[in-house]
């Protein structure tokens, strides 16, 4: 599978496997390991998780699976995230909030390492832009984690350009990615400067919710219906029967080197994402989908 260069010594597989709903799949450790091995066979080496996924359980579920075959650690890249504190039964928080303090970043990462049963994270992301971001503290936390070999690279998620610029002004390491929502049905970041900045800074974006949580499949409103028709038409032209492949291909045809996160626990669905890489969408088909989604012709 095509690999995307994020830094001199860092590559991701074009398709990334997402563990957002890993806890919902109710897999045994052996089953989770099996899914990982199937992903690896498809060329998917990059795993996306986060401290809070599955109410703080997904990292551990994956770590347990990985511990059944520790030699796989060197063959994969693990992306995890810190910076959100969920109110739940185990802690005393009254409400969900963000925390990008030095203390939290380091503590959260230590917990991630323990749960993931690994001694390093390939890429650590700040999960959401904390309004209280003190970039000096973030810089200190990143430097400390890097110096200790606990994290190799750093990035952000859901950051706007002004937030990336603000943080980067204080860091002595580059941000290697911005993980944002991107899909046929969610065009905001193509229009508000986020994707422009990713290209400008050679910081390939990871795309979450690349299928828009299935809205385009089920939603009967006017806009999704119109987009679905267009996707079906293009699917026929490209010789595939599934519109989710077209949705993945649409993201990957964009020159920003977008890396879609396939968040399914079923290997057939993941296979579908991989298949989409070989679809040869042309520029006109891409714009037909764009125009269908925005509901009006280009100017």
Catalytic residues: 53
Q: Closest approach of Cβ 165 to its own copies, in Å?
A: 6
b/e per residue 107-119 (b: at least 16 CB within 10 A): ebbebbbebbbbe
Q: Is the C-alpha dihedral spanning 37, 279, 248, 219 positive or negative?
A: negative
Instruction: Tell me if 283 contacts its own copies by CB under 8 A.
Output: yes
Q: 101 or 223: whose CB is closer to its own copies?
A: 101
Which positions from 114 through 143 interact with its own copies, judged by CB under 8 A? 128, 131-135
In the list 119, 148, 200, 236, the residue contacting its own copies (rule: CB under 8 A) is: 200
Does the footprint of its own copies cover residue 38 (CB under 8 A)?
no
Q: Which stretch binds its own copies (CB under 8 A): 105-113, 148-156, 263-271, 281-289?
A: 281-289
Least distance CB 133 / its own copies (angstroms): 7
Report the candidate in 167, 151, 154 with the shortest Cα–Cα distance to residue 113.
Answer: 151
95 binds its own copies (CB under 8 A): yes
Binding piece for its own copies, criterion CB under 8 A, among 3-11, 44-52, 95-103, 258-266: 95-103
What is the footprint of its own copies within residues 208-227 (CB under 8 A)? none
Using CB under 8 A, list all residues that contact its own copies. 85, 93-99, 101, 128, 131-135, 158, 160-163, 165-166, 169, 190, 192-193, 196-197, 199-201, 253-255, 283-284, 286-288, 290-291, 297-299
């Amino acid at each position: 599978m095509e690999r995307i260069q994020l830094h001199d010594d860092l590559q991701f597989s074009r398709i990334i496997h997402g563990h957002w709903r890993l806890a919902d799949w109710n897999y045994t450790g052996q089953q989770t390991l099996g899914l990982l091995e199937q992903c690896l066979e498809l060329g998917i080496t990059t795993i996306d998780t986060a401290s809070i996924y599955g109410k703080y359980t997904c990292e551990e579920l994956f770590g347990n699976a990985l511990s059944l075959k520790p030699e796989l650690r060197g063959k994969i890249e693990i992306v995890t995230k810190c910076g959100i504190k969920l109110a739940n039964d185990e802690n005393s928080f009254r409400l969900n909030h963000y925390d990008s303090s030095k203390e939290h970043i380091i503590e959260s990462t230590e917990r991630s390492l323990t749960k993931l049963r690994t001694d390093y994270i390939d890429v650590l992301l700040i999960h959401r832009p904390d309004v209280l971001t003190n970039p000096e503290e973030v810089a200190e936390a990143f430097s400390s984690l890097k110096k200790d070999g606990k994290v190799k690279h750093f990035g952000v998620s859901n950051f706007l350009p002004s937030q990336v610029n603000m943080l980067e002004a204080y860091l002595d390491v580059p941000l290697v990615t911005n993980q944002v929502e991107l899909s046929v049905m969610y065009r905001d970041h193509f229009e508000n400067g986020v994707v422009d900045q990713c290209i400008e800074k050679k910081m390939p974006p990871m795309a979450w919710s690349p299928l828009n949580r299935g809205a385009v499949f089920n939603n009967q409103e006017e806009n999704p219906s119109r987009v679905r028709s267009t996707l079906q038409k293009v699917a026929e032209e490209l010789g595939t029967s599934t519109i989710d492949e077209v949705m993945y291909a649409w993201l990957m045809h964009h020159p920003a080197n977008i890396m879609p996160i396939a968040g399914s626990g079923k290997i057939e669905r993941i296979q579908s994402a991989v298949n989409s890489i070989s679809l040869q969408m042309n520029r006109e088909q891409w714009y037909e989908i764009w125009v269908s989604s925005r509901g009006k012709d280009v100017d």
